[in-house]
Structure 1
Amino acid sequence: MVDVESPRERGRVDRARYALLSLYLRLIQPSTTPLRRQLLVGLAAYAVLLLVLVAFGINGSSMGLLYSAMFGGRDPGLLRGVPRAIRSDEWLVVAPLTVSQVEEGLPYKSGLFPGGFDTTIVWDLPYREWSVLLRPHMWGFFVLPLDNAYALKWWLPFLTMAAALFVLLCTLWRRPLASFAVAGAFAAAPFFQWWFGSGSFWPPACAIAACAGTILMLRTDRTWHRWVIAAIVSYLVVVAVVALYPPYLIPCLYPAVGFVVGWIVMARSLSWPERLRRMAPLAVGAVVAGIVLAVFLVTRRDTIDAVVSTVYPGQRLSPTGASGSFSWLAMYAGIFGIGLRAADTTGFAANASEGSSFIFFGLYLVPSALWLLWSRWRRGAGFDWAMVGVLASLGLMFAFIYVPGWDAVAHLLLLDRVVMPRIVIGMGVGSILLLGLVVGRLRELSDVRVPVWTTVASVAAVLLTHWVVYRGLVRNAPAVLEASIAWVVLLVVLAVAIGLFSRGRATVPGILVALVALVVAGWVNPIYQGVFDMRETAVGQAIEEVDAENPGSWVAVDGLAATAVLRETGVESYSGVQGWPSQEMWDDLDPDGGDEDAWNRYAHVNWTANPDAPEIVLVTADVVQVKLDSCGPVAQKHIEHVLSQQPIDQPCVDEVESISEGGGTFYIYDVVPAP
């Protein structure tokens, strides 16, 4: 019998085809919606997304590892995904410190270490002091419960960066869906996901916002619009700078400067006096921002001097041409960034975070960029100085990586303050700015035919780069290649997207690269609800009771959970991570300063009861180990309590309490006089 399609079935198929065709045509047609409405709707979407995430207390922390260390098993707050042990600065350092700040009432100077420390420097912590006005992601801790405040802290910098890029791309392309998709693809880059934190997002956010703000200020005739835009950009600059992390700030600066200066030079429809008049609010904002930053730095001068004078990272400078200090395979991995899920990244990178980079969408379009520059010059329209500026900034960073011998110039440009692998953030920002410019310029062409060779060259750049990386993975990192699931499909989709970008298309390739980015790195951070509050555990409550009855200093012996719970309960402790050494603390532990090279650094200060261990030893670049001798002068004079996850057999400790917690036991001891 022959199956005959009924007229009704044919009608449904035809209607489905018509609907898909109509949708496709709507996607590729220029939007007729006014730019202002496009921007407002897009920003409103980001605001709603932030509101939902904060309302439900959703974050991407890996603090579930602390739950596992204490109780074993899976943390019920973990909704989806896998906590990442490599992100220890987030779940082992910042998360417990944030809880401790809430416990202590958000002090400006924390008393966790003997001598205390300034909470406004190094770590991203909430505190009560005027400069918290420059940390908007912290404001929730003053008005919201801990879970919701932590969610705001987690998402606000991330979504602000994505929103800034959306505004820039929508202004250049007038394609809101494409802009939203590409902003999401950029935010989902492996680098951002493996280094997720406000310090990673504010520098690119302010750089991109400065580019978008320049365009809008030169276009609008309304003075108050320009002042509002300038205020927003200047504020974001201050927010980024007070993080005080040059390895991210400096690389993001140069692409933004190239773009902004180039765009101002190109605004030929305006006279130079008019250009300067329209940009004047930004100049005023820069002056105000500079004054605010100066006050911030001067009022924290002692702390900043202490950080800068450390062995690590204060004295860390990078020479030019030191490309061997990081893996080129990881830097240009592209879609092979998905392989960072491998348990063993040997031959690819030291670890997943150090191996994270970007999918350089814009760099693949350099052939199109060069043709656009030549075509514009040939038509007598002059140079596209914004594109020249961005390409020059990328050239500067490539030179810093690969060309040795100009260290003096690099020092003047502050580039030697950039740890070599971190410069990739500037290349990521430059690449996305170049993508925005290339597609925007191609979309403006109406009477100029775009040559096919630019598309062929751009697609070839995608395929050739990934072929070289593939060969490197086969030889050096087969485990990473094995973990790169569906890489062939991802590569094909990426090549198609780049090909479409090179023809001036925006929406379809934007959606494609967003899908690629989500598959490559969207899985890195888990979806977590709430905060694992160790103060509410049995051992946390026991610590608070013992310290209330007999206040004094603590140490945690072995075990991550023991150190973390001391942090969260807010008791004074000689254990934990120091951003820089407390002089009072190390005067107690090392009175003659003989081990200063070991402890004068950013480091985890861990304690051991092993009698054969050295008194103080540097285990790794950021781990200092101190031996507990309860009968020794240090413990007898300065330590009152010890928390351990194993029994301690020493004559000068007396067990106060043992607490069964999950699958293990915590022991609390008092230090007693030596016999």
Structure 2
Amino acid sequence: MRINFKETLSSFSSFLYKNQGWIFPIIVLSALISLSALQISGTSAGIYDYLLGKKPVNLIAGKPRPIRSDEWVVTTPFVVSQYNNGMPAKSKDIGIGQDMSIVADAPYTDWSMLFRPHNLIFFLLPIGFAFAFKWWLLSAGLALSVYIFVLFLYPRKYLIASLLGSIMLFSPFIQWWYQSATILPIIYGLLGIVSAIKLIESRCRRTAIYWSIALAYLAVCFALVMYPAFQLTIGLVSLVTLLAILQGRGTLHLLWQRRNLFLIFGSIIIAGTIMGLFLWQHSDAVKASLNTIYPGHRNISSGGFDIFRLISWPLSYLLLHDNNSMILGNNQSEVSNFLLIGLVLMPFLIYLSIRYKSTFSKLEKSIIYISSGIFIFIAIRMFIPIGDQLFSLLGMSKIPHERLFIGLGLINFLLLLVAVSRRSKKLPKKWWKPLTSIQQLIFFAIITIIFSILIYATVRHYDIPNIGPLESVAVILTFSISSTLLLSSYEQFRIVGLVGVLLLNILSTYMVNPLYRGVGITDNEFSRYIMDAEKKDNFYWVANDSSVLSAIMVASGAEVYGGVNTYPQTDIWRRYFPNSANVFNRYAHVRFLFDSSPQKRSLSLIQDDSFFVHISPCDEMLHDLNIRYIVSERPLKSSCLESNRGGIFDGKKIYIYTIKNNSTNTRK
């Protein structure tokens, strides 16, 4: 049988054209399934390999990022611990017990897990596959939620939707802050906007009811992310965007129809009831979190933010190199941002929407103006010391200024969407002519000046030594050309500009997170030793000044004091340190520091989210808490400790001591 390749290719092309809306989702989901099947994730848990002197054989590409400690020290150990301990709702292995519902990334057995769908996979697959699936599910969810949102506003703009979904995913802020608390608010915010508009504009009552149920479900999922700094910002921008879209589509008046008000309030009541039940069931942990000094009672005044932290985003690519980890005045996560090209285009879009009214729809004008307004509102909060009462009323007094970047990223996305999707002229045969038009050249000149100022000011302010004139010019021209193309009257040029923006994002973040096979944290000799020892007794372990050893022990299923407490276990600390509430009443990395003869057990604050427990191995507190084992990276000397039972684990010497039962205890 002879195959006609030309005819086959033509049929395949025709099939792809008819089904082009599925190409991007299929690519995304295929990547999700493939990487999960290979147990490959972007975890930085490979750091444990290095710290234990072990060859990182599971590291496929890139390198672990120490600054991503929220992942490899906090969430990953919690996830593995929960899996190894049967996923209890309250873990008895962390101090006197910790409610795991407060940790959005940790799986646990409770009805509320239905509203944390990203964790359900742990009930179905072994840990290696489940961990990888959950990791990439966040990426897939973010890219596809943007894709759905764009197609909702601009049907059949499949290429633009795919590019914008990829741009959002590869943004520096997303990659350096890659976790559920960062990504899920954006996903639920965008899908919530779509659901609310579908509800309001639906002509069928039954369909409207379905969308009302979907909106209630998304609202509960959004609330259970439990990271207000990002939730409040995304919630505010999403609400304003919803009103802007309704106004632009001419359907804002439908919001006030009796049916729609009833269904919207119904969604709010359903979501509020479910959240109320959750808060009542977990009230002790919630109250403990809200009543903390950090972050619960943290208040941040308006104004005073360093503008250079905002304008340094064109140099995000520098953060990929370890020797540049503090080059912009702070660590990579804290200074990471979105590539805010949309904000640079904002005044140009306002000008074009006024000068060429017919090329912008009412919807696009509404998005431009409302987005500009909310940007100004956020900028006032960051830079001008006014309006504290208003911002406090909105809950924004609890949000550190740099966390507001996530709102700027969503505004940036909306402006890019309008810039690339607005009405287009037909490209002339002499396609290069529009590129040399007076208006386009003026735009290019102004934008080049803007980027020159941003980069020159940043380099001078932070005294960055590694950027020469050629590199600066290359960066300026790359950003300027991509931005100018997005202002073209021709869609083909705008898409080229959008591809340029995507490439800039990828080049800024392509190796932020490594590719690592497996989970890593328990794949070592020390973890296996802990697991074997745990089978023999139920005594508690504590590490001497080592977050790494604490994390490994937690992940290995041991009963551990110290490590990360997502809310304070006040029953312990008030009993033994009654006058130190200002130290222990916080989300904290708790680090025990053993001294053979301290004059007095005490606490000392290291930073906002970390404190030391200074204590003797002979202290009665250890026996009261059923602590039997101390592990340390350095030798300890005390008459209350039995000789070292440790040794070399992989390439790391670890000391393991048993506290003597007949020791002379001290209470001070």
For this structure pair, what is the TM-score category when the shorter chain's length is used for normalisation? 0.7 to 0.9
1:396 aligns with 2:377: yes
What is the CA–CA distance in structure 1 between the aligned matches of 2:467 and 2:289, rounded to whole Å?
42
What is the CA–CA distance in structure 2 between the aligned matches of 1:287 and 1:147, rounded to whole Å?
39
- In structure 2, what is the equivalent of residue 23 of structure 1? none
Check 1:521–1:483 CA distance in 2 against 1; reply closer, same or farther (3 A cut). farther
Q: Which of 563, 571, 591 is the equivalent residue of 1:584?
A: 571
Residue 527 of structure 1 deviates from its aligned partner by: 0.9
Residue 583 of structure 1 deviates from its aligned partner by: 2.2
- In structure 1, what is the equivalent of residue 310 of structure 2? 331
Residue pairs, 1:349-388, within 5 angstroms: 349-375=329-355, 384-388=365-369
- Greater alpha carbon shift after TM alignment, 339-348 vs 510-519: 339-348
What is the CA–CA distance in structure 1 between the aligned matches of 2:623 and 2:149, rounded to whole Å?
61
Contact 1:578–1:603 (8 Å) recurs in 2 = yes
Contact 1:581–1:602 (8 Å) recurs in 2 = yes
Q: Which of 319, 323, 341 is the equivalent residue of 2:320?
A: 341
What is the CA–CA distance in structure 2 between the aligned matches of 1:376 and 1:281, rounded to whole Å?
39
1:136 aligns with 2:117: yes
Residue 483 of structure 1 deviates from its aligned partner by: 10
Q: Which of 211, 235, 256 is the equivalent residue of 1:253?
A: 235
- Greater alpha carbon shift after TM alignment, 99-108 vs 174-183: 174-183
Residue 221 of structure 1 deviates from its aligned partner by: 6.1
- Greater alpha carbon shift after TM alignment, 399-408 vs 101-110: 399-408
What is the CA–CA distance in structure 1 between the aligned matches of 2:233 and 2:603, rounded to whole Å?
37
Residue 646 of structure 1 deviates from its aligned partner by: 2.3
Contact 2:41–2:516 (8 Å) recurs in 1 = yes
- In structure 1, what is the equivalent of residue 647 of structure 2? 659
- In structure 2, what is the equivalent of residue 185 of structure 1? 167
- Partner-residue secondary structure (3-state), 2:589: strand
Residue 238 of structure 1 deviates from its aligned partner by: 2.3
- In structure 2, what is the equivalent of residue 537 of structure 1? 524
Q: Which of 642, 657, 661 is the equivalent residue of 1:669?
A: 657
1:601 aligns with 2:606: no
Write out per-residue CA displacement over residues 189-231 of structure 1, whole angstroms, 9 at most, x where no aligned residue: 1111111101100111122223444566677766666555555
- Greater alpha carbon shift after TM alignment, 161-170 vs 510-519: 161-170
Contact 2:367–2:414 (8 Å) recurs in 1 = no
What is the CA–CA distance in structure 1 between the aligned matches of 2:23 and 2:304, rounded to whole Å?
45
What is the CA–CA distance in structure 2 between the aligned matches of 1:175 and 1:390, rounded to whole Å?
22
Give the residue type in structure 2 aligned to 1:371.
Answer: Y
- Partner-residue secondary structure (3-state), 2:341: coil
Aligned pairs, how many?
635
Residue pairs, 1:425-504, within 5 angstroms: 425-443=406-424, 455=440, 459-460=444-445, 462-479=447-464, 481-482=466-467, 488-504=473-489
1:573 aligns with 2:560: yes
What is the CA–CA distance in structure 2 between the aligned matches of 1:276 and 1:207, rounded to whole Å?
25
Contact 1:257–1:389 (8 Å) recurs in 2 = no
Contact 1:473–1:480 (8 Å) recurs in 2 = no
Check 1:516–1:485 CA distance in 2 against 1; reply closer, same or farther (3 A cut). farther
- In structure 1, what is the equivalent of residue 507 of structure 2? 519
Check 1:313–1:153 CA distance in 2 against 1; reply closer, same or farther (3 A cut). same
Residue 346 of structure 1 deviates from its aligned partner by: 4.7
Q: Which of 615, 618, 627 is the equivalent residue of 1:631?
A: 618
- Partner-residue secondary structure (3-state), 1:353: helix
What is the CA–CA distance in structure 2 between the aligned matches of 1:453 and 1:227, rounded to whole Å?
53
1:237 aligns with 2:219: yes
What is the CA–CA distance in structure 1 between the aligned matches of 2:191 and 2:211, rounded to whole Å?
9
Contact 2:530–2:556 (8 Å) recurs in 1 = yes
Contact 1:331–1:358 (8 Å) recurs in 2 = no
Q: Which of 485, 491, 497 is the equivalent residue of 1:509?
A: 497
Contact 2:78–2:106 (8 Å) recurs in 1 = yes
Residue pairs, 1:37-48, within 5 angstroms: 38-48=20-30
Contact 2:318–2:324 (8 Å) recurs in 1 = no
Residue 633 of structure 1 deviates from its aligned partner by: 2.2
- Greater alpha carbon shift after TM alignment, 281-290 vs 123-132: 281-290
- In structure 2, what is the equivalent of residue 152 of structure 1? 133
What is the CA–CA distance in structure 1 between the aligned matches of 2:213 and 2:30, rounded to whole Å?
23
Contact 1:175–1:507 (8 Å) recurs in 2 = no
- Greater alpha carbon shift after TM alignment, 426-435 vs 253-262: 253-262
Contact 1:604–1:624 (8 Å) recurs in 2 = yes
Contact 1:194–1:352 (8 Å) recurs in 2 = yes
- Greater alpha carbon shift after TM alignment, 552-561 vs 399-408: 552-561
Contact 1:58–1:529 (8 Å) recurs in 2 = yes
Residue 491 of structure 1 deviates from its aligned partner by: 3.6
Give the residue type in structure 2 aligned to 1:403.
Answer: I
Write out per-residue CA displacement over residues 441-463 of structure 1, whole angstroms, 9 at most, x where no aligned residue: 344999xx999677556545643
1:263 aligns with 2:245: yes
What is the CA–CA distance in structure 1 between the aligned matches of 2:17 and 2:276, rounded to whole Å?
43
What is the CA–CA distance in structure 2 between the aligned matches of 1:221 and 1:250, rounded to whole Å?
31
Check 1:432–1:230 CA distance in 2 against 1; reply closer, same or farther (3 A cut). farther
Check 1:222–1:349 CA distance in 2 against 1; reply closer, same or farther (3 A cut). farther
Residue 234 of structure 1 deviates from its aligned partner by: 4.2
Check 1:428–1:127 CA distance in 2 against 1; reply closer, same or farther (3 A cut). same
Q: Pairwise CA RMSD of aligned residues?
A: 3.3
- Greater alpha carbon shift after TM alignment, 661-670 vs 607-616: 607-616
Contact 1:442–1:503 (8 Å) recurs in 2 = no
What is the CA–CA distance in structure 2 between the aligned matches of 1:375 and 1:544, rounded to whole Å?
70
- Partner-residue secondary structure (3-state), 2:133: helix
Give the residue type in structure 2 aligned to 1:495.
Answer: S
Normalising by structure 1, report the TM-score.
0.86
- Partner-residue secondary structure (3-state), 2:293: coil
Normalising by structure 2, report the TM-score.
0.86
Q: Which of 267, 272, 294 is the equivalent residue of 1:312?
A: 294
Give the residue type in structure 2 aligned to 1:405.
Answer: I
Residue 284 of structure 1 deviates from its aligned partner by: 4.3
- In structure 2, what is the equivalent of residue 620 of structure 1? 607
- Partner-residue secondary structure (3-state), 1:114: coil
Q: Which of 619, 632, 635 is the equivalent residue of 1:647?
A: 635
Contact 1:334–1:466 (8 Å) recurs in 2 = no
Residue 662 of structure 1 deviates from its aligned partner by: 1.8
Write out per-residue CA displacement over residues 587-613 of structure 1, whole angstroms, 9 at most, x where no aligned residue: 4542xx122212211111112234477
Instruction: Flag structure 2 segments of 5+ consecutive residues without an equivalent.
Output: 1-12, 428-433
- In structure 1, what is the equivalent of residue 393 of structure 2? 412
- Partner-residue secondary structure (3-state), 2:643: strand
What is the CA–CA distance in structure 1 between the aligned matches of 2:252 and 2:565, rounded to whole Å?
53
Residue 578 of structure 1 deviates from its aligned partner by: 0.9
Contact 2:300–2:397 (8 Å) recurs in 1 = yes
- In structure 1, what is the equivalent of residue 5 of structure 2? none
Contact 2:303–2:382 (8 Å) recurs in 1 = yes
- Greater alpha carbon shift after TM alignment, 82-91 vs 611-620: 611-620
Write out per-residue CA displacement over residues 37-83 of structure 1, whole angstroms, 9 at most, x where no aligned residue: 5544433332222222222112111000012111344x111110011
Check 1:520–1:540 CA distance in 2 against 1; reply closer, same or farther (3 A cut). closer
- In structure 1, what is the equivalent of residue 431 of structure 2? none
- In structure 2, what is the equivalent of residue 3 of structure 1? none
1:322 aligns with 2:304: yes
What is the CA–CA distance in structure 1 between the aligned matches of 2:129 and 2:102, rounded to whole Å?
23
Check 1:642–1:634 CA distance in 2 against 1; reply closer, same or farther (3 A cut). same
Residue 237 of structure 1 deviates from its aligned partner by: 3.2
What is the CA–CA distance in structure 1 between the aligned matches of 2:295 and 2:394, rounded to whole Å?
19
What is the CA–CA distance in structure 2 between the aligned matches of 1:380 and 1:108, rounded to whole Å?
52
Check 1:262–1:561 CA distance in 2 against 1; reply closer, same or farther (3 A cut). closer
Residue pairs, 1:38-187, within 5 angstroms: 38-73=20-55, 75-173=56-154, 174-187=156-169
- Partner-residue secondary structure (3-state), 1:323: coil
